[in-house]
Chain A
Amino acid sequence: MAADPHTIADLSRALQARETTAEAVVERCLQRIAERNATLNAFITVFGSEAREQAREADREMAAGRRLGPLHGVPISLKDLFDVRGTATTAASRVREHHVADADAPSVAALREAGAIVIGKTNLHEFAFGTTNEDSAFGPARHPHDPNRSPGGSSGGSAASVADGMCFASMGTDTGGSIRIPSAVCGLVGLKPAFGELSTEGVVPLSGTLDHIGPICRCVEDAAILYDVLRGGGARPAGKPIDLRALRLGVARSYFMALLDPQVAAAFDAACERLRDAGATLEEVSIPHAGDVAAIYLHIVLTEAAAYHAKTLERRPEDYTPNVRIRLEMGRYVLGEDYARAMRGRELIRREVDAALEDRDALLLPALAIPAPKIGAATVRIGTVEEPVRNVMLRCTQVFNVSGHPALSLPCGSTTEGLPVGAQLVGASGDTPGLLRVARAVESIVAARAAAHAGYLGPGRSR
């Protein structure tokens, strides 16, 4: 074999051609975890013996000519919010230390039925209530490129595990950007499908109105493979690749680019220029009330999270990390009338995003305003302004949790320090397959430059 497979698509082809075995691939991933997890703290639980046994079984099945599905023999990780039968779903919290799941989450079951090998469960911001992964009962997950930096959050361990070569994909959750943010800072593709498309059953909730699940992968094709499996098949983008000269993208600038790190802005602008050079039409659009989204989001997520945690906050407050506990307590003071206002605002935002998408294939904007922040930094400097990290992290993503539109982040460049920068595409309401088709076309133009900084991304990184 000339090079280790880098993507699920490549690995699947190599396994089918008997160029490698699932056992060898799982062993390489476990070796990588053994070498690097003490530094990155990406995994909370590793299913070493189970993964090895499942890999051997996959090899036997494939040798006999049987193929369970497109993930047969592919090692993946799960954010530790997903139930796996017989194991704790810790949510990175001591609150859950005695929990044992009695069944796989339906999404996990679907992945297993397609042949996936669950290699372990990954670290996260406690109960997914944060964007840096710093507040975890298991300590912070760290960025593969620079362990002094955050891999983003809340699905930070998931992104670190994929970026560092510990597995081929991971399942994350996204309530305000928790798939797209870590994907952006780790140089990966993260898909938040349309709201309600994928079951959140068996996944620890944060906010039922805003929660989504989705994959974190190394390319758009891999994201499409996992999305199709999770939808039960038949949902992969079909038809010819999109002709870039027919592609119409709405670039959302006003609110989203008003507070943007200069290097992120430069990488995003360069990606736009490359798309224009390739023949795509880019038109400026606006979401008039985007500036109201933070207040709308806050009143929804705080209220719904507090409702879920109220009983435990009364009984075992000391079992939460201090920052997460205090933010959950804040939600107990939101008035019902303000929650109702936020829910009305949600509908307004949904309509405005629909309007921005009218006659366009997708919206294009940055995925995150800054590169990976330093762990422990309370503020970040953007130009001449010092901003709280928390205020900046959700700025480009939470609007599409509020609106429910499918959204995807993909690498579009890097900073002078080699930190990845992500762009975000947003698809029409309910049309995740359409978004994936656009993303493949955009990836073919903007991802070549992004790949140049990705030499640190673990074994098999040969693109």
Chain B
Amino acid sequence: MTVKAWLEMATHDAERRGLPELKPLLEALAKATSALRTAEWNADATGDAALGPDPGRGR
């Protein structure tokens, strides 16, 4: 799920649950999620990872 689709879904659900005040927090969270997903240290199924081996491997 893209961050955009996630935000639409989450905002719609929050409104359905009577929690419209969640919207600005979800928008802030979406920005943090975008930053997390675009970080160059994320694992990549192609084997390409800017930082080389998974830092968690072998521990």
A395 lies within 8 A of chain B by Cβ: no
Within 8 A of A (CB), among B3-59: 6, 10, 13-14, 19, 21-22, 25-26, 29, 32-33, 35-37, 39, 41-43, 51, 54-56, 59
Within 8 A of B (CB), among A434-454: none
Inter-chain contacts of A96 with B (CB < 8 A): none
Give chain B's interface residue range (CB within 8 Å of chain A). Answer: 20 to 34
Inter-chain contacts of B10 with A (CB < 8 A): 333
A299 lies within 8 A of chain B by Cβ: yes
Contact B6 A335 (CB under 8 A): yes
Inter-chain contacts of B14 with A (CB < 8 A): 329, 333
Within the complex, the shortest CB–CB distance from B58 to chain A, in Å, comes to 11
Contact B33 A344 (CB under 8 A): no
- Which of the residues A289, A329, A334, A335 comes within 8 Å of B39, measured between beta carbons? A289
- Which of the residues A292, A299, A345, A348 comes within 8 Å of B33, measured between beta carbons? A299
Within the complex, the shortest CB–CB distance from B3 to chain A, in Å, comes to 9
With A334-B29, A335-B6, A344-B55 known to touch, is A326 a contact of B21 (CB < 8 Å)? yes
How many residue pairs, one in A and one in B, have C-beta atoms under 8 Å apart?
A: 68
Inter-chain contacts of A295 with B (CB < 8 A): 32-33, 35-36, 39
Within 8 A of B (CB), among A163-182: none
A274 to B56, CA, bound (A): 39
Inter-chain contacts of A63 with B (CB < 8 A): none
Within the complex, the shortest CB–CB distance from B4 to chain A, in Å, comes to 13
Within the complex, the shortest CB–CB distance from B50 to chain A, in Å, comes to 11
Contact B41 A329 (CB under 8 A): no
A344 to B54, CA, bound (A): 8
- Report the interface size for chain A: residues with CB under 8 A from the other chain: 25
Question: Can you name the residue of chain A whose Cβ is closest to the Cβ of B54?
Answer: A344
A100 lies within 8 A of chain B by Cβ: no
Contact B36 A345 (CB under 8 A): yes
Contact A330 B26 (CB under 8 A): yes
A334 to B29, CA, bound (A): 9
With A344-B41, A344-B56, A351-B55 known to touch, is A338 a contact of B36 (CB < 8 Å)? yes
Within the complex, the shortest CB–CB distance from B43 to chain A, in Å, comes to 6
Contact A289 B19 (CB under 8 A): no
Contact B32 A330 (CB under 8 A): no
Within the complex, the shortest CB–CB distance from A148 to chain B, in Å, comes to 27
A345 to B32, CA, bound (A): 13
Contact B32 A299 (CB under 8 A): yes
- Which of the residues B19, B36, B54, B56 comes within 8 Å of A326, measured between beta carbons? B19
Contact A294 B55 (CB under 8 A): no
Contact A344 B42 (CB under 8 A): yes
Contact B25 A296 (CB under 8 A): no
Inter-chain contacts of B19 with A (CB < 8 A): 326, 329
Contact A335 B1 (CB under 8 A): yes
Contact B54 A330 (CB under 8 A): no
Contact B43 A344 (CB under 8 A): yes
Inter-chain contacts of B59 with A (CB < 8 A): 347
A60 lies within 8 A of chain B by Cβ: no
A292 to B50, CA, bound (A): 15
A198 to B21, CA, bound (A): 38
- Which of the residues B1, B21, B32 comes within 8 Å of A294, measured between beta carbons? B32
Q: Which 7 A-B pairs have the closest CB atoms?
A: A295-B32, A347-B56, A333-B10, A295-B36, A295-B35, A347-B55, A330-B25
Interface residues of B (CB under 8 A from A): 1, 6, 10, 13-14, 19, 21-22, 25-26, 29, 32-33, 35-37, 39, 41-43, 51, 54-56, 59
Offer 16 A-B interface pairs, CB within 8 angstroms, sorted by A.
A289-B39, A289-B41, A292-B35, A292-B41, A294-B32, A296-B36, A298-B32, A326-B22, A326-B25, A327-B25, A344-B42, A344-B54, A344-B56, A347-B55, A348-B55, A350-B55
